[in-house]
Amino acid sequence: MRSLRKTVKWCLITLVSLILIIALALGFLLFTTPGLKITQKITNHFLQPLGISLKGNISGQINQLKLDELDIKNDTVDIRLSQVELSLSLWSLISHQTLDVKHLSVDKVYVDINTHTTNNASDSQAHEDSSPFSMPLDLYAKNINVSDVKYLMNKQLITHATNVSANGINLVDDKLELNKVSAKVPAYSASATVNSGYIILNAPFKTYLKVNLSAAQSGADIRSTQTQIIGNFADKFSIMSDGIIHYKTRPYPYSLISSFDQGEIVNQLKLDHLAMINNTLLFNDQLDWSVNLTSLNPAVPLKFNIGGKLNTTDHDLRLKTSFCDIFSHDSELRCHINLSSSDGTFHLNQFKLFNPRNDDRVQVKLAQSKQNIQAQWEVFVNDLNAYPFNVSGNIYSQGKVDINDKTTKALKMTLDVDDFLYKQFDLSKLVLAVDNHSLTLNADSHKISTLIKMQLQSLSLSQITAKLNTLNFTSKTFKQDWHLTKAVDLALSPDKSSMSDLCLLASNDNHFCISASLAPNAITVQTAGEITPAQFIPNLPYGGDSFALSFKGNYLQEPNSHPKANFSISGHGFFFANNTSWFKQLQQIVPIHQLSYTTNINTDLSLQDQKLALSSNVSFPQNSLVLKLNSDNFDLYNLSKAKLTGALELSSTRLDWISNFIPQFPTLINKGDLHSSLQVTGTLFDPRVDGDIALKNAQIELLPLNTTLDDINANILIRNPLNAKINLTANIQKSPLTVSGLVDLHGATPNTNININGKKLLVLNTPDMEVTVSPTLNFNQSNGSSNLSGNIFIDKLIVNLADMKSSSLQNTIQNDVVYVNNSNQAIQTQKNTPFSMNLNIDMGKNAHISGLGIDTNIQGKLNIISQPNQPMLGIGTLQPVNGVFSAYGKTFSVDPKSTIQFNNSPVGNPMLAITTFYNIPTSVKLTQSNAPDTIGIEITGMANNPKIQLFSDPSMSQTDILSYILFGQTLNDANSSQASSDALSQAALLIAINEGGSGVIDELKDKLSLAEFSLGNLNNNPTNTTNNTTAEQNNTAVFIGKQVTSRLYLSYGVGVFTGEQQGIATFSLSPNWKLKGEVTSFDRGGDILYQTHSEN
């Protein structure tokens, strides 16, 4: 604080000196530049004994002064101001005795505080400073600007600030008030602004400041929303700051409280969702310090406590921990640290990290100087999974190193890693062995395996030479085996580093070579090779081994000159996969051997005198792409100023090849012309594109949807900097589709606004579903978030459940896999979208669902909403209209009051309230006195877990109702209890409706003495069924069977949806011979069966 007071004092002396200049000028009435020069000489005569001098030219008027340089220098401070411009009010000085500075501008300010003064000087200065400070004249300064400020202490730079400005600085008596004082600190990419506050320049230096800070360092961007400095600098004061730290685009709010109490500093830093850090520093004859860290991340439950003592002098440093503990759930670690530094030599006397519960440990000793490095270590971790770092595996390593600037006295190192896994990185095995003469590395993972063998020829701090004898690299993903073709010489030293030709050859003739030399007089790199892209990315539509890319390049960097480089790529062969429709069509025009090299790619790049030139040509039948790009000011160390000019020309009159890049959604592009002409300007980091992209008369068959887009015409206008205006028109069976909007690609994230409109578009036309819609949609992207909204009117919907079911069953894997939660309950997986959605769907009056016994229209409205990567939710109600349900030869009517309700629930799991009823025919009522008037089925609850209930009017038991559904009469069985009958009805209904069963079926079979109770298929018959349907319908049936005697077995089945009945009787003549008789609703027959082996 004394240094601050000295600085303020001498700055005030500077201002008084300037006032003295004005006073002398007034005395001589010199209002011209020549007069001011005379005043300068007189002023220097009086002020130079005080260490103050005015240098250079002085000009202007008495109230508008310009001075080249002002110096203030004595034993304590050295202050230099250059290019000073001062404007003040003479009237305020004369009439009110106040310094009213209207404007102060300084180009450079240099301040150096000398703390190494002699004792006598210090005592004298201390006595001088002990007197209270008071400003003789009130100072009010506005519009202060300083371009460059350097603050030093004992000629060592402490802070360098630029663009220092202040709206106002007032000094009345001993109170210094600050208003909007800001500065930038380039070394930390930081800026600071004192919004308001004051400092009392006498003890105890009471202070109150409000500050805003921002800085960027090591990938972190810090922004304080509020920072306050409150207290007495000579006694106690505190700093409180809140803000946000952005690291790797993620925000981390922080809160910092620091308190300073004479010899003690206490800091508390909270990073939301990361950690709480407490730090204490106690200054005595040594520094006692401690740090406490508590993780706020539930995934890493960690507590870390460390503390110790620190002793420092001008040349020595000693640090030793008193405690060091790490805790996390079931694990505990302790550590000891002892290090010292003296006269350029660093000693890590002890570093030990160990687990007191087992043998896991890390021990390191190190001594380092300019001429020598000595190290010894041991690492043993038996199970990394025991620690909260999401890492598994085990590690063992030990080694000893003693290397000086001439030779290696000792070198022995081993490293063994097994079953290592961290996120997506894995190592099943890694073995490293190093001694004075050799290095061997063997690593293996599920994606790659590597083997390196190297002969160490010489090793010291000044030079390393080695011979790489083996380098084998196997990519298991791409089934690539690379190996070194010959030994490679390696050299590394401060004077020159080099690598002879390193050539890798794959088993399929892919090869790659590189050589390099790094020396003070030149850096050179050469590379060449050839690869087959399809062998590295096998899932892309490349034409197998028929397409290859060859490349070569060189780089040269000489002292005091710009780098030079040349690089070229050429491709030849058939680029696209040979199973495409285009390939088959081309075979009819051109023989297959002539198609082998129909694709050509040639790219050349050169760099010289900071000018980059790139040209690329891609051509194949009826397609060509030409790119030319130039860049000036292409400085590899500062690419921000690289300017771009270039053009891209694209012409394609055959677009079949585009289908190869979307194999997940097969399409057939039958025709269309695509042309583009783009101009590129701007800079490398801020490119600007201007031009057009036009698509004319295209036709695309969307094969999975069995629909075709015709008459596709699109025009994309791209304007600077990177804005695209899109207009597209197309027809689907002569129904119009339009897409229009804007896309802004200039910025960190794209901004998009696309409108999609259509009328009666046939978007799906398959055997199981036909969908015609009229959409009015908007897709919007802004600030990294995306949203799809709008309305969809269903003009026509035809769904055939029978065909849909049979096609879905073809995917056997999906039907066999069941996902369960922690309670072993099945869960439903849902497809999520990466954008938010808000769609209003109107089912219209032409939505019809049929099949599997269902025949109904569907009406209603549904609002589908979702957030990014979250399940889609539905709000609304769907109702069946004129619906019927056929089962067991009977037709049930669907109550028009039935609903499928979406109450902000997942679209795949709505609330069901469906009622179907069947009126008992009059003929049945006449023959059965107890026959009900109506029977029916109620389905309620959620779709994923529906509740099924039978009902009748008048009321009957569940078994009797089911009997009427199955057999047209009640079931009388003396052997079955009421409970068993009720269970039978529930199980049979589950079989009939859900095509499955429950755990009670086996129990029912035993209680009812049934040998069979299952779901099956009736034999197909070419004749018509009872309800005038054909055999094309579903023939699902429920079967019951009973072993009447040891030789006679009877089975009865009834069709769920057709009403067809089937009875089978099987009689055993002997263990090998059987008679089988079968009766159906339409036919009868018999068989003689011979069994050749036992059923067991």
Poorest-pLDDT segment among 317-321, 335-339, 383-387, 756-760: 383-387
| Span 346-377, pLDDT tens digits | 999 999 999 998 999 999 999 999 889 999 99
Grade residue 213 by pLDDT with cuts at 50, 70 and 90: confident
Please, which residues bridge with residue 1039 across strands? 1014, 1053
Q: Write the CA distances from 1062 to 648, 1021, 1055, 1081, integer angstroms.
A: 74, 12, 9, 7
| Span 73-94, pLDDT tens digits | 777 778 888 888 888 777 777 7
Q: Write the CA distances from 1070 to 750, 1025, 1047, integer angstroms.
A: 81, 37, 9
For residues 714 and 85, the model is more confident at 714
* DSSP class per residue in 369-416: -SSEEEEEEEEEES-GGGSSSSEEEEEEEEEEEEEESS-EEEEEEEEE
- Ranked by mean pLDDT, the top range of 246-260, 393-407, 650-664 is 393-407
Q: Do the Cβ atoms of 600 and 618 come closer than 8 Å?
A: yes
| Mean residue pLDDT across the chain | 80
Grade residue 674 by pLDDT with cuts at 50, 70 and 90: very high
Residue 993 has pLDDT above 90, yes or no: no
Grade residue 36 by pLDDT with cuts at 50, 70 and 90: low
Residue 561 has pLDDT above 70, yes or no: yes
CB neighbours (10 Å) of residue 420?
19
Residue 590 has pLDDT above 50, yes or no: no
CB neighbours (10 Å) of residue 964?
23
User: What's the confidence (pLDDT) of residue 820?
Assistant: 40
User: What's the confidence (pLDDT) of residue 42?
Assistant: 57
For residues 1036 and 950, the model is more confident at 950
Q: Are strands 548-557 and 522-531 parallel, antiparallel or unpaired?
A: antiparallel
Q: Write the CA distances from 347 to 364, 366, 412, integer angstroms.
A: 11, 6, 20
For a pLDDT cut of 70, what percent of the chain falls above it? 78
User: What's the confidence (pLDDT) of residue 29?
Assistant: 41
User: What's the confidence (pLDDT) of residue 46?
Assistant: 53
d(CA 254, CA 550): 52
Strands of 114-261, DSSP E: 138-153, 156-172, 175-185, 190-200, 206-217, 220-232, 236-247, 250-261
Residue 122 has pLDDT above 80, yes or no: no
Residue 305 has pLDDT above 90, yes or no: yes
For residues 636 and 451, the model is more confident at 451
For residues 1044 and 1064, the model is more confident at 1064
User: What's the confidence (pLDDT) of residue 370?
Assistant: 84
Which residues lie closer than 8 Å to 723 by C-beta, 6 or more apart? 742, 743, 744, 745, 746
User: What's the confidence (pLDDT) of residue 48?
Assistant: 61
d(CA 1017, CA 133): 107
d(CA 606, CA 593): 35
Which alpha helices (DSSP H) does 110-245 contain, by range? 119-130
Please, which residues bridge with residue 443 across strands? 430, 450
User: What's the confidence (pLDDT) of residue 425?
Assistant: 86
d(CA 573, CA 985): 69
d(CA 105, CA 829): 69
CB neighbours (10 Å) of residue 82?
18
For residues 532 and 464, the model is more confident at 464
Poorest-pLDDT segment among 36-45, 170-179, 1021-1030: 1021-1030
User: Nearest CA to 1042 among 1018, 1074, 1065?
Assistant: 1065
Handedness of CA 749, 750, 753, 759 (dihedral sign): negative
The SS3 call for residue 844 is: coil
Residue 907 has pLDDT above 50, yes or no: yes
Grade residue 1026 by pLDDT with cuts at 50, 70 and 90: very low
User: What's the confidence (pLDDT) of residue 556?
Assistant: 93
Section 571-583 average pLDDT: 59
Q: List, as own/partner pairs, every contact residues 500-509 make where C-beta atoms lie below 8 angstroms and the sequence separation is at least 24, other chains included.
A: 502/468, 502/471, 504/471, 504/473, 506/480, 506/481, 506/482, 506/535, 507/480, 507/481, 508/480, 508/532, 508/535, 508/545
Q: Do the Cβ atoms of 212 and 222 come closer than 8 Å?
A: no
User: Nearest CA to 458 among 431, 437, 478, 473?
Assistant: 437
User: What's the confidence (pLDDT) of residue 767?
Assistant: 84
Please, which residues bridge with residue 44 across strands? none
Phi and psi torsions of 1020, nearest 5°: -70, 140
SS (H, E, C) 883-948: EEEEECCEEEEECCCCEEEEEEEECCCCEEEEEEEEECCHHHHHHCCCCCCEEEEEEEEECCEEEE
Q: Do the Cβ atoms of 549 and 570 come closer than 8 Å?
A: yes
* DSSP class per residue in 451-468: EEEEEEEEE-SS-EEEEE
User: What's the confidence (pLDDT) of residue 118?
Assistant: 53
User: What's the confidence (pLDDT) of residue 377?
Assistant: 96
CB neighbours (10 Å) of residue 1046?
7
User: Nearest CA to 58 among 25, 91, 102, 90?
Assistant: 25
| Span 748-768, pLDDT tens digits | 678 899 999 999 999 989 888
Residue 530 has pLDDT above 50, yes or no: yes
| Span 185-204, pLDDT tens digits | 888 888 989 999 988 878 78
Residue 327 has pLDDT above 70, yes or no: yes
Which residue is it, tokens 């030399």? 517
User: What's the confidence (pLDDT) of residue 958?
Assistant: 74
Phi and psi torsions of 114, nearest 5°: -100, 115
Residue 798 has pLDDT above 80, yes or no: yes
Grade residue 322 by pLDDT with cuts at 50, 70 and 90: very high
d(CA 38, CA 21): 10
User: What's the confidence (pLDDT) of residue 564?
Assistant: 94
Please, which residues bridge with residue 876 across strands? 862, 902
| Span 653-671, pLDDT tens digits | 888 777 766 666 778 888 9
Grade residue 813 by pLDDT with cuts at 50, 70 and 90: very low
| Span 98-121, pLDDT tens digits | 878 888 899 998 888 776 655 555
Section 1003-1008 average pLDDT: 50
Q: Do the Cβ atoms of 876 and 862 come closer than 8 Å?
A: yes
Poorest-pLDDT segment among 163-172, 232-241, 609-618, 677-686: 232-241
User: What's the confidence (pLDDT) of residue 597?
Assistant: 42
Grade residue 1086 by pLDDT with cuts at 50, 70 and 90: confident
Grade residue 851 by pLDDT with cuts at 50, 70 and 90: confident
d(CA 688, CA 644): 9
Grade residue 821 by pLDDT with cuts at 50, 70 and 90: very low
Grade residue 416 by pLDDT with cuts at 50, 70 and 90: very high
Grade residue 774 by pLDDT with cuts at 50, 70 and 90: very high
Q: Please count the helices (runs of H) and the strands (runs of E) in the chain.
A: 11, 64
pTM of the model: 0.58
Q: Are strands 785-800 and 847-851 parallel, antiparallel or unpaired?
A: parallel
